[in-house]
Amino acid sequence: MKSIGIDIGTTTISIIVMNTADFTIEESCTLDNGAFLPSSRPWERIQDVSGILRKTQTALEEILDRTPDISSIGLTGQMHGIVYVDQAGTAVSPLYTWQDGRGNQPDFRQGKSVCACLSEDYGVKAASGYGMVTHLYNVQKGLVPREAVSFCTISDYLGMALTGRSLPLLHISQAASLGLYDCRTHTFQEEILREHNALPPALPCVTPDLLPLGYFRGILVGVSVGDNQASFLGSVRDAEHSLLVNIGTGSQISMLSDRYCEALGIESRPLTRDAFLLAGSALCGGLAFAALERFFREYAAAAGAPDVPQFETMKRFLEGTDLSADCWNVRTTFSGTREHPADSGSVTGIRLENFHPASLIRGTLNGMAEELYALYTNIIRETSQAKTRLIASGNGIRKNPALRQILESRFQMPLEIVPHQEEAAVGAAIASLAAAKTLSLNQWLGLAAGAPEGGEQ
């Protein structure tokens, strides 16, 4: 039999077909999302829901038409963002993505933002782009559609469309990503929403278990899981000893824990009833290297060179050089941090003898690694759970040998690249097999047989 995994990312939509006998990938396709909508607000980042749904469902139908023996369909996608749905389960708003900046706008109350008010009034940490932050702003500004009865993530909405559900059902991994969620009791903090007249629309129903959401063309569709959790499932087979680092548009470290943890810059994201992913994210991540490429390209074009990507040239600067050599100290917080979104990056350590492009390029890669290592040390300080295996995923690492070397050196662990590229889609397929009760997550993650499974048995 085979299982399909679908990952609705911010820039791409990925679909894989996995053989469930040996977990090899038999087919994969990646589509350009291309769904961002124009906006007069520079901080607004919204996407076309119908376009995403149409493109994804068309690709899925084509795969099903030519591929027999599909036993399950798993879903994942960009976390945090929300789409409002009406009583029939149809989208009545754009997708407000995780990159949306309305939560940081100082026009929510008395010159303060939603995020600032939540922190000051309730001691709640929630970043702009989190669904509940977006919802509170929309309520205050009268932007919630009158027909809206609830809301959910984009991959949850895909699940509704495939199975004909009229109301969303969110796995705890997706529910927690919206913010205002207590991961220990698995409940939303409804009292805060009530104080701001943000109910109704009703909160989505939540399940701690990997359950069947319904069926599409007679095939079981599993409840959607958060893309961080899905990527972990699609990358790690020895969870007890492994630290996962991912560098793509953003960057992130993730490790499994059997208990909730509070540490600076770290979120405890539920994976099952009894297990959490301790996740730390750098908002810029791979975008730091992309921004540096744009800098070089802009100069080259102004000097009369063709306006073409400069990544290969940047890599040649690093070839045959000592990556531990004297380079610039680059703090790559070019997009701020979760705790301090107004933060900026910095560059120091420049001297005449190291005033070379390679010093800036190496310094930027060092800064990207240092951001992640600092988050890892915050986890170790709170949990004393050091890891011995560094598992790496994401094109930002795959395509950059110098960055791989820098990560190995900084974390003092050998780095292992995940063999397949669509980790989140693979993890979604694995989660759907767990929902179908044909796979044990404990066995998949290499955990002890006596450890809690975290789902219905």
Write out pLDDT tens, residues 93-112. Answer: 999 999 999 999 999 999 99
206 with 353, same domain? no
The region of weakest confidence among 3-7, 53-57, 123-127, 221-225 is 123-127
114 vs 421, residue with greater confidence: 114
pLDDT score recorded for residue 457: 29
State the CATH number of the domain containing residue 192: 3.30.420.40
337 with 404, same domain? yes
Q: Tell me if 286 is assigned to some domain.
A: yes
47 with 94, same domain? yes
206 with 256, same domain? no
pLDDT score recorded for residue 324: 64
The region of weakest confidence among 214-218, 283-287, 290-294 is 283-287
Which band of pLDDT confidence, cut at 50, 70 and 90, is reported for residue 286?
confident
Q: Which of 229, 247, 276 is the last residue of a domain?
A: 229
pLDDT score recorded for residue 322: 67
Q: Tell me if 448 is assigned to some domain.
A: no
39 with 85, same domain? yes
Q: Which of 129, 122, 68, 126 is nearest to 97 (CA)?
A: 129
302 with 206, same domain? no
Q: Tell me if 453 is assigned to some domain.
A: no
Q: Tell me if 437 is assigned to some domain.
A: no
Q: Tell me if 429 is assigned to some domain.
A: no
Assessment of whether the complete model's pTM goes beyond 0.75: yes
- Distance in angstroms (rounded) separating the CA atoms of residues 22 and 33: 30
pLDDT score recorded for residue 323: 61
**Token duo for residue 288:** 């730091």
143 with 274, same domain? no
113 with 245, same domain? no
93 with 207, same domain? yes
Tally of CB atoms within 10 A around 18: 29
Which band of pLDDT confidence, cut at 50, 70 and 90, is reported for residue 456?
very low
Mean pLDDT value across residues 416-425: 91
Specify the number of domains making up the chain: 2
pLDDT score recorded for residue 448: 65
For residue 280, pLDDT beyond 60: yes
381 with 325, same domain? yes
pLDDT score recorded for residue 255: 95
268 with 328, same domain? yes
Mean pLDDT value across residues 357-372: 94
For residue 11, pLDDT beyond 90: no
pLDDT score recorded for residue 337: 81
Which band of pLDDT confidence, cut at 50, 70 and 90, is reported for residue 163?
very high
Q: Tell me if 165 is assigned to some domain.
A: yes
Residue burial 185-210, b: 16+ Cβ < 10 Å; e: rest? eeebbeebbeebebbebebbebbbbb
350 with 382, same domain? yes
Query: pLDDT > 70: what percent of the chain?
Result: 96
For residue 449, pLDDT beyond 60: no
Q: Which of 213, 229, 245 is the last residue of a domain?
A: 229
Mean pLDDT value across residues 42-68: 96
For residue 335, pLDDT beyond 90: no
pLDDT score recorded for residue 341: 77
Q: Tell me if 350 is assigned to some domain.
A: yes
Cα–Cα separations (whole angstroms), residue 3 to 170, 217, 225, 272: 21, 14, 15, 21
Query: pLDDT > 90: what percent of the chain?
Result: 79
- Distance in angstroms (rounded) separating the CA atoms of residues 77 and 12: 10
- Distance in angstroms (rounded) separating the CA atoms of residues 80 and 98: 5
pLDDT score recorded for residue 185: 87
Q: Tell me if 23 is assigned to some domain.
A: yes
Q: How many Cα neighbours within 13 Å face the side chain of 226?
A: 27
If you compute the radius of gyration of the chain from its CA atoms, what whole number of angstroms results? 22
- Distance in angstroms (rounded) separating the CA atoms of residues 382 and 402: 31
pLDDT score recorded for residue 454: 43
Identity of the amino acid at 61: E
Q: Which of 181, 213, 229 is the last residue of a domain?
A: 229
Domain of 330 in residue numbering reads as 236-419
For residue 451, pLDDT beyond 60: no
For residue 450, pLDDT beyond 70: no
Q: Are 82 and 151 in contact (CB under 8 A)?
A: yes
pLDDT score recorded for residue 430: 97
